[in-house]
Amino acid sequence: MNPLLDFSGLPRFAEIKPEHVAPAIEQMLDENRALITRLLADDSLPTWDSFVRPMEDANERLSRAWGPVGHLNAVMNSPELRDAYNSTLPKITAYYAELGQNLALFQKFKALRNSTEFAGLSAARKKIIENELRDFRLGGAELPDDKKARYLAIQERQSELSSRFSDNILDATNDFTLVIENRGELDGLPEDVLQTAREAAQSAEKTGWMFTLKAPSYLPVMQFADNRDLRAKIYRAYATRASEFGKPDWDNTPLMDEIVALRAEEAQLLGFKNFGELSLAAKMAETPQQVVNFMRELAQRARPFAEKDLVELREFAKTKLGLIELRSWDVAYVSEKLREQRYAFSEQEVKQYFPEDAVLAGLFKLVETLYGLRINPSSAPIWHETVRFFDIRDAKDNLVGQFYLDLYARNSKRGGAWMDDVITRRRLDNKIQTPVAYLNCNFSAPVGGATASSEQGPAQRDGSVRESVAAAASPSDDYYRANGRRPAVFTHDEVQTLFHEFGHGLHHLLTEVEDLGVSGINGVEWDAVELPSQFMENFCWEWDVLQGMTRRADTNEKLPRALFDKMLAAKNFQSGLATLRQIEFALFDMLMHSNFNVGQGKTILQLLDEVRAEVAVLIPPEFNRFPQSFSHIFSGGYSAGYYSYKWAEVLSADAYSLFEEHGVLNPEIGARFRAEVLAMGGARPAMESFAAFRGRAPSIDALLRHNGLIEV
């Protein structure tokens, strides 16, 4: 059997090969189209069981066949798999576009909405039907045939361009390596970073230390390297990825223009003034102008703090480090030096207290305390030897959910951190289907012994995955000693990233909804999706949480309270600059999708320059090509939606304030958050879920307080 067509359990990663992709997807598409034909031929009044349920079953099977393909393309990318993915993607895109445009299906859903059965359906099922009616309108079901054809062509082309955009970033990132043979040029870099760089060089059969643009290599250079020329060289390479400064085949500039133009055309076909309006039709925010006003108001609040941050940074750079002009490749380095002087600690010092095993144990204990759950190591077929697998069980030992954990960066894996669904909770006859999630990060792997950056093990030249089963959940000291490695250690920022993605995972895994369309993260407004993830980050600043998840890898000493107090004092260090940076991205995104026309007066880069002139205080150099690697909006799900991070942060900060009022480890408040927010999924509007938990509408005050943007 084609492993992609086995839906009896977890994906059979060890057996999936590129040649399985096209036959599996084509078979599923044929079966689904045949089902639709049968459903439309039935003249009887549609019911949930006769109409919605069969459609739901069919589309879930397709999703579960295609999901592992997209996942492997993101985490175990190979030329063969990439070709299989990209050649099949247009067929998937065409199917869903055809589905959304099918006027006969739309009429069936309208008939069900107007039937006597509708009143007796559960709230979740009513929400699914209402969402379907909305999505048919947004999918072009009411368009005339000639416009439907154009709409379909737009969808297929956008999918192709977005995939190429992502591929170009990965290829451009992997293409750059810098080998340094003189140890003196690497002063300031931590020993674990140097060891990783030496192992990378050895793996490439070179002498010295090799650096890349992957986050675990790039970020420490920018933060710690005393060598300004090295920082400048690495910065320029990173800031110009996938642009006209590199290989022409990897230049994302023309792709960006075409993507934005196609989105504008799509919106106009559907009767919207711009893509921003179309994007917000299924979100909490009502208009692009509302989002722009929110961003600008927040910018006004943050700007005085950002200006103060910058004055301090420039003065410190000049008087203490002899840097007359602060350049972009100096900012992270000078900031770290200023932090060390002001708060008497360094990020590298803190990092030693967060070994992987202690962090995971602390994270799991937090979840167990808040929600009455237990997280245990389990086994499953995996795609790389470092991937682990876990069960989540309740107090009665019932299986609630499962998740994969893929923590480390590698050449075959796209950058960033993300959660994705494998299987979604739903009722199947007399049993509940257990939800499963992927949690992916790009942290530094354990160093010493085997090469940390090695692609050996599961990766095969034909793009398949070797037989491998997750066995160790949180490697112990014995495990590391046996393998000749020290534990991976995480920065505090990386710990927050892990908590963030785990929050997304809990949103998917702890749902109690039994209907697929609004179970877990399904049906949740995009600008509310970040609420559970940003909410989890707050716990990374609580002593009662951190003291149980820290341990120096060399001495087993817990994080000292004095060091924690310094971290807390520095929590909002440069928060003004950080806030303006996020506002810059969000405002650029929304204006590009609502008040900009490709080829009419200005380029995308010039638009970004205008936004920076309005809200930023730190302006990058002319050669910076940030948009060319802004995958969130050009190849992710955040187009005209990047504002969601700040929008949802208002909700998450205010939600967390209830824990602050009643005790951050209060199981009663935890149970309430689980029941009113996590368990509800998309079965009701996110604002209703927030109000049910908090007892009122959200307030921006907690966000400003948490970020230190209120004068004391």
Q: What is the CATH number of the domain that holds 134?
A: 1.20.1050
For 227, the enclosing helix (H) or strand (E) is: none
The reply to whether 389 and 496 lie within a common domain is yes
**Of 132, 199, 347, 501, which is the active-site residue?**
501
Name residue 564's amino acid: F
Tell me what percent of the residues of the chain surpass a pLDDT of 70: 95
Decide if 214 is inside a domain. yes
Q: Is the pLDDT of residue 469 over 90?
A: no
The reply to whether 132 and 181 lie within a common domain is no
pLDDT of residue 466: 38
CA distance 287 to 594: 10
| 444 in Cβ contact with 196 (< 8 Å) | yes
Span 510-555, pLDDT tens digits: 999 999 999 999 999 999 999 999 999 999 999 999 998 999 988 9
The reply to whether 76 and 185 lie within a common domain is no
Decide if 507 is inside a domain. yes
Mean pLDDT within 234-240: 98
Model confidence band, residue 457 (pLDDT cutoffs 50, 70, 90): very low
Model confidence band, residue 601 (pLDDT cutoffs 50, 70, 90): confident
* Residues paired with residue 489 on neighbouring β-strands, in sequence order: 355
Span 263-286, pLDDT tens digits: 999 999 999 999 999 999 999 999
pLDDT of residue 487: 84
CA atoms within 13 A on the CB side of 709: 23
The reply to whether 70 and 198 lie within a common domain is no
* 375 secondary structure, DSSP code: E
| 17 in Cβ contact with 467 (< 8 Å) | no
Domain limits for position 205: 176-241
Mean pLDDT within 180-203: 96
For 505, the enclosing helix (H) or strand (E) is: helix 492-509
Across 409-520, where does the E strand assignment appear?
A: 418-423, 426-428, 431-433, 436-443
pLDDT of residue 472: 39
Model confidence band, residue 188 (pLDDT cutoffs 50, 70, 90): very high
Of 130, 106, 124, 119, the closest CA to residue 51 belongs to: 106
Q: Is the pLDDT of residue 470 over 90?
A: no
pLDDT of residue 485: 66
Span 76-102, pLDDT tens digits: 999 999 999 999 999 999 999 999 999
Decide if 24 is inside a domain. yes
Q: Is the pLDDT of residue 484 over 90?
A: no
Q: Which of residues 114, 141, 168 is at a domain's end? A: 141
The reply to whether 105 and 197 lie within a common domain is no
Contacts of 200 (CB under 8 A, 6+ apart): 209, 210, 211, 212, 217, 451, 452, 453
Mean pLDDT within 346-367: 96
* 439 secondary structure, DSSP code: E
Span 105-159, pLDDT tens digits: 999 999 999 999 999 999 999 999 999 999 999 999 999 999 999 999 999 999 9
The reply to whether 75 and 215 lie within a common domain is no
pLDDT of residue 482: 54
pLDDT of residue 12: 97
Helical H runs in 593-643? 604-615, 631-634
CA 259 to chain CA centroid, nearest Å: 21
The reply to whether 136 and 53 lie within a common domain is yes
| 433 in Cβ contact with 424 (< 8 Å) | yes
Q: Is 668 a catalytic residue?
A: no
Q: Which of residues 196, 218, 241 is at a domain's end? A: 241
CATH at residue 436: 1.10.1370.40
- For 272: left if phi > 0, alpha if psi spans -120 to 50, otherwise beta; the answer is beta
CA atoms within 13 A on the CB side of 309: 26
Average pLDDT, the chain: 94
Please name the residue that has the structure tokens 């209703």. 688
Model confidence band, residue 475 (pLDDT cutoffs 50, 70, 90): very low
Tell me what percent of the residues of the chain surpass a pLDDT of 90: 92
The reply to whether 105 and 217 lie within a common domain is no
pLDDT of residue 554: 85
The reply to whether 207 and 81 lie within a common domain is no
Span 402-448, pLDDT tens digits: 999 999 999 999 999 999 999 999 999 889 999 999 999 999 999 86
Q: Is the pLDDT of residue 483 over 70?
A: no
Decide if 335 is inside a domain. no
Model confidence band, residue 194 (pLDDT cutoffs 50, 70, 90): very high
The reply to whether 135 and 190 lie within a common domain is no
Mean pLDDT within 43-51: 97
CA distance 651 to 661: 16
CA distance 672 to 693: 7
Tokens of 575: 């928060």
* Residues paired with residue 421 on neighbouring β-strands, in sequence order: 437
| 335 in Cβ contact with 314 (< 8 Å) | no
The reply to whether 84 and 218 lie within a common domain is no
Q: Is the pLDDT of residue 453 over 70?
A: no
CA distance 632 to 638: 5
Helical H runs in 139-184? 145-175
Decide if 376 is inside a domain. yes
Angle (deg, nearest 10), helices 18-41 and 53-75: 160
pLDDT of residue 693: 98
Please name the residue that has the structure tokens 């480390």. 408
Decide if 378 is inside a domain. yes
C-alpha R_g of the chain = 25
Decide if 32 is inside a domain. yes
Decide if 427 is inside a domain. yes
| 154 in Cβ contact with 266 (< 8 Å) | yes
Phi/psi for 288 (5° steps) reads -55, -35
CA 548 to chain CA centroid, nearest Å: 27
The reply to whether 201 and 106 lie within a common domain is no
For residue 105, give Cα distances in angstroms to 172, 323, 526, 539. Answer: 43, 66, 25, 46
Model confidence band, residue 479 (pLDDT cutoffs 50, 70, 90): very low
CA distance 220 to 505: 28
CA distance 127 to 667: 30
- Judge residue 179's burial from the number of C-beta atoms within 10 Å of its C-beta, 0-12 exposed, 13-18 middle, 19 or more buried: middle
Span 288-311, pLDDT tens digits: 999 999 999 999 999 999 999 999
pLDDT of residue 712: 58
CA distance 595 to 53: 41
Q: Which of residues 241, 264, 297 is at a domain's end? A: 241
pLDDT of residue 553: 81
Tokens of 9: 């359990």
CA distance 589 to 288: 10
Of 50, 27, 30, 29, the closest CA to residue 39 belongs to: 50
Domain count, the chain: 3
Of 136, 90, 87, 84, the closest CA to residue 109 belongs to: 136
Of 321, 269, 262, 53, the closest CA to residue 145 belongs to: 269
* 622 secondary structure, DSSP code: T
Q: Is the pLDDT of residue 624 over 70?
A: yes
Span 568-598, pLDDT tens digits: 999 999 999 999 999 999 999 999 999 999 9
